[in-house]
Structure formats: C-alpha cells, structure tokens
Chain A
C-alpha cells in the first residue's frame, strides 16, 4: 500500500469553484469533495400520498359516524347502525394516526381493525344481498375499501422506511445515487484507474464510449432505454490525486449529470473504500425516471454492478462471468425470468 495521505491533507487540498464557469449545470453548484455523511431524514413533512389518504379516510369516518343509515344505504352495506358507527370511529382513529405520521404507534392497530371490520361488513352484506343493484353497489364499495387499504398500506410503508444507501432527490431536483465498495488496492492505484476515463466503458455497462478532448474535458456516450443513446461533454471539477475526483457535464448535455468518487483508506489499511456519488437530471423529470425503471433501468443497481465490475477488473484483471457457458435446455419461463446473469 502506498497510501500515506491523511484526512487533514484532504481537507486542506484546494478546491476550485466551477459554478461560475458552467452556469448551465445545476450540479455545478454542488461543492465537490464534501465529506460523506448520512442526512437526517426529514420527520416534519407528511408525504402528499399519506396526507391525501388520511383526509379521505377521515371524511369517510366522519360520515359513517354522523349518518350511518345514509352511508349504509348508498354503499349497499347491510348492518346495524352501531357497527357502521364503530367502523367510522376506527376510521377517524386511523386517519389521526396517518396524519400524525404514524404516532401514537398503538393507534396503528386501529388502521388494521378498520380495514378488517369494513371487509367483514362487506362480506356479510354480500352474502345477504338480494338485488343486483345492491350487489353492484357492494362491488363498488369493495373496490373503494380495497383502494383505501392500499393507500393506507403504502403510507404506512413510507412512514416506516428508514434511510439507507441508494437513491435520493437533491434540492435542485436531480437524482443522486451513491454506492461504495472496498477494493484490495491502494487509494493511489484506484485513483489512477479512475483518472483514465477511457477505461470506464470496460466496467460501466451503460457507457458506450468516453473520449478525451483535453486534459480536463472528455466526451461521453451512454446507452439509454429502447436502444437510443445520450451524449455529453464533461469537465473534471476536482482532482486530488489519490483522494478524490469529481466531474460534471457542461452546457448542452443530453442528460445533465455529474459525479464524485472518493478514495478513502479502508480501516486498518486493508485496501481502499471507493465511494461514488452520481447525480443526474433524468430526462422528463421524476416521471421520466419512473418510466426508465419500467424498462429495467435502475440506477442504484447499475452503479452497484458497475462498482463490482471495477473491483473485479482492478483486483483480478478480468470481469467474472458465466455469460456464454454451457447449459442444458432452458424452459421458456427460465428464458423470460432469469435468476442470475445469463449463463
């Protein structure tokens, strides 16, 4: 290992501000080389989905409580008004729990009980329903309850989620993806490998070509969904040999993007932790990113796989694969849904 730099030297290294040079890039405003840290999750904001679900469930609950007979008639439910009122009370309790971001926690049980009671009422009514009109009203109500339950569940999942590595949105509206890997080489060796952008397509599956224009500028071409491709020029915005490398696209890029890679000495000098953060503005915004995901483009998985390939390449000199190996006859199902890499 040739790693002799310390954290202090990294902090003291000069960092140039490139935002003035490239006013067109939202990413250029981000200072390169800021130290990695988790951001405290925002507890104060209620997601739009949760607040919407909460308000709808609250409204239904109030209606059930105040006018149980009318609600029963319009929904096709056949039950004692007291039961409808109970369901309404549970609904209000659920809504309070949802709107209060899942607190107090025991009230969360009301959310389960509410769905359970409503489904029971529905099922009982369905068994007794005589007229086809009532049956169709019940079917509609059933669909409504199911939709509310789904909304409730997704709100609960969102509220229970903890921050992990991976993907997040930045204030400027870009998507940021971060991943790290520990490599059995010195920080300088890892840096040297990354400084040579031409080699990126060897381990970054979505890159077709990176060519050098000048010492700090290069031209990038990447695969995009449905066989298309995107191109951009990128500038190196920070270059601290053996420690850090940052780059971002310049004006006129098909996809506004940038990245930082840090090379940290691993604990005990056992190699190097390579931390990559990529930021990009997906074409078509968040909706575009969602569409891309439907086509199997998951940026977190991609950067994860790219980093593994980088590690394989720099450590072993080749990329581990089973692609092209022999196998017995595969069924159509196996061809459609592969469990691993093709092989």
Chain B
C-alpha cells in the first residue's frame, strides 16, 4: 500500500510499504477513506519529538471502512464506517474504567521507555513516535487498529467524512480543553492559538456557557476564522501587548480561564523568543513555551489554565510564582477521545457543531509531503488539510 513515512526532520515521503496484518485477536484493519494532518504532526515533521525512526508511518486522525477483523472483535462488521480515536485504549485497565483512555496502562508496548522520559507511561498513540508505542499511523491506504472493540465509533449513514473525521482528535481535544476550564455562565475565556484545536476550543467554550471568548494569534486568516466562524473577539499579538489587551477587555481582572492551544513550538516575540529558539536548538529545553507563560500571567486570580497544546519534554522560565501565589489551576492531558465520541457525534448530528468549516485544503495522499510543507509554513492561508488515499 501507499503510506506517508517519516524519513527525518522536514523529510516525509509517500512510500510503498507492506499492507497491515491482524496481529492480535482484538485488532481490525481499516481501509482509510479520509485522514488529516494534525498541528501536532508538525512537531514530528520539524523533528522536535524524540524517538522517531526512519520509516515510521505518520497520522493519527483518520477514518475508514472495516475490511478485516480479529477473532475477538464482535461489535464491528466488515464494511462498517468508523472513526478511530488517536489514543489507543484497552478498555480493561484502571484508567480505561475511569474513562481516562489516554492514560491506558496496557496500550503502549514501549511503556518502559516512556517511564524513563516522563516517570510514568501514557497510552499508545497512532503514528506519534516510539515513546507512545511506535504504532503505524493512518496517513496511508490501510491501517491496523488495536483494541478495535473499544475505540472506533460507527458513523451513521448520511454523515459525510468531513463532518465526522475530526472526532478522531481535534474536535474532542478542543472540547476537553474547554471542559477543563470549568466554565460557568458569564465566564470569559481566552484562547491562545487559532488553529483547528483553538477554533474548536472557542466554539466549545461558547457551548459550555462562556459569555465572551477572546482568541489570540498573528495570522490574519486564522483570526478572521476565529471571528467569523467561531464568533470570538480577537487579538493579534504582533500588534498589541496581550496582557494589557486582556486586562482592558476584562476590566483589569483577567480571563476566568486561559487555553494554550499552541504547545511546544510557540512563536516568541523579541528577546525571550530568541532566547527560547537558541535553547531549543541547543537541546537545553525541548519547548518554546511562550503561549503558556503568557496564559499563566494573564489568567485571573484563582482561574484555570488548560493546555491542549502538545509538550514533549522540559521547559524553563515557567512563572511558577504567579501560578502559586494566585491560586491558579492547571489542567491538561492527551484527550480522552473515547469519552467524548458519542456526545460529540450527537452534537454534530443535531447540527450544533459543523467541524468541516475549518477545512481549507483537500488533497490526495500522494501530495502529503507538499501538504505538510504548506501547513507548516501557513502558506495559502492553510488551516486544515484533509488527505484522501
């Protein structure tokens, strides 16, 4: 089959690779119908996530048709159309029973390696480095789905791929980010980053009762999408001082909750930005946490800072004094997608959310390397790319 393989930093290629096989009784094989490039795939593309290997197949946002089933999968049939959550979860361990699927204790075959890096291991993730299992991803014609009786959700007829594809990651991720904010009616929420997760976080914050949502970015097209599609007020951080602007908007108190939908490759302004770039290049820190630092400083006393953005290792200049002295709460995690699939699918079916509005580009899988480059460099006002094998 054809699959997008990682060959090194800024080097991805569509290669001929062997078709996936059933390896365990609870596996399924899908024929991919739609797959997307995630903002977090760009961290792999740029080479900032450790333990990638040449030949790894990327992609953790995908859906398709069941073409083969392991002997123990009884809830799916050949021909079912399913969306697959990006974290792999067994459904049997303590964390799966607690609905914290991205913390599954059994799905990462490289758990010992993750424990060395992070103390404990999270769940396995499709196509996202060997630290989280080294699973072959779904930017391919076919994919093997382990524990297929737990993750995949059947899609009702009549719903297009584009309406449901993002249930695999970014829609639940934006939603969980907003849910983590503990929003009460009348709350003001600020969102750093107007990429796909940021857009869904804005929309979810409104769904959960926020009165005002303020979005922060520097790309005009993304700010426009935040205003026109997600109905947020916007701040361009290259034009104004974000902390001052947020104080002005909120009467000096600060937003009740702040969402960092940017992560480890935040764009820094001025000296601090240069400082982080140098440290990251020298591997003295793995993150450039500008958005997070700003979110912590901006949040109102006693507020919540929620991080859906991906971080991999270590950061510095974290304003821990602000965090401690002002009674902030930090909430984060890889999304427990399985928990949100059904409720969010219902919202999509009822028309409360239309995830397809963020798609700016539709391309064949063969053009994936171009798509990565375009998405990374924000060329052609690219916000979200959907690939078709």
Contact = CB atoms under 8 A, between A and B. Distances in A.
B141 to A, nearest CB: 10
Q: Is the interface of B mostly helix, strand, loop or mixed?
A: loop
Interface in A303-343: 304-305, 308, 311-312, 315-331, 333-334, 338-341, 343
A271 B72 CA distance: 24
B109 interface: yes
Q: Is the interface of A mostly helix, strand, loop or mixed?
A: loop
Interface string B101-137: 0000111111111000000000010000010011110
Given A327-B55, A331-B54, A322 B24 contact: no
Interface stretch (B86-94, B162-170, B188-196): B86-94
Contact of B109 (A304, A321, A329): A321
Given A315-B92, A316-B106, A341-B134, A323 B23 contact: yes
B261 to A, nearest CB: 29
Given A311-B106, A326-B57, A334-B54, A340 B113 contact: yes
Given A316-B90, A317-B25, A326 B134 contact: no
- Give the bracket for the number of chain A residues in contact with chain B: 20 to 34
B55 A341 contact: no
Nearest to B133: A322
Nearest to B54: A331
B93 A184 contact: yes
Contacts of A10: none
Contacts of A317: 25-26, 72
Contact of B134 (A270, A328, A333, A343): A343
Interface string B2-42: 01011100000101011111011110000000000000000
Nearest to A331: B54
B19 A320 contact: no
Interface string A193-220: 0000000000000000000000000000
Contacts of A270: 94
A327 B56 contact: yes
Contacts, number: 125
Contact of B5 (A304, A316, A320, A327): A327
B24 A321 contact: yes
B105 A321 contact: no
A169 interface: no
Nearest to B111: A308
A311 B140 CA distance: 32
A15 interface: no
Contacts of A319: 24
Interface of A: 182, 184, 270-271, 301, 304-305, 308, 311-312, 315-331, 333-334, 338-341, 343
In the A-B complex, list the 6 residue pairs whose CB atoms are closest, starting with the nearest. A328-B5, A340-B130, A328-B55, A340-B110, A340-B134, A339-B130
10 contacts: A182-B94, A311-B105, A316-B93, A320-B106, A321-B23, A323-B23, A328-B13, A329-B15, A334-B55, A343-B136
Given A315-B106, A327-B5, 17 more contacts: A184-B97, A315-B90, A316-B93, A322-B23, A322-B109, A322-B135, A323-B23, A324-B21, A325-B21, A328-B6, A328-B17, A329-B5, A334-B55, A339-B51, A339-B53, A341-B110, A343-B136
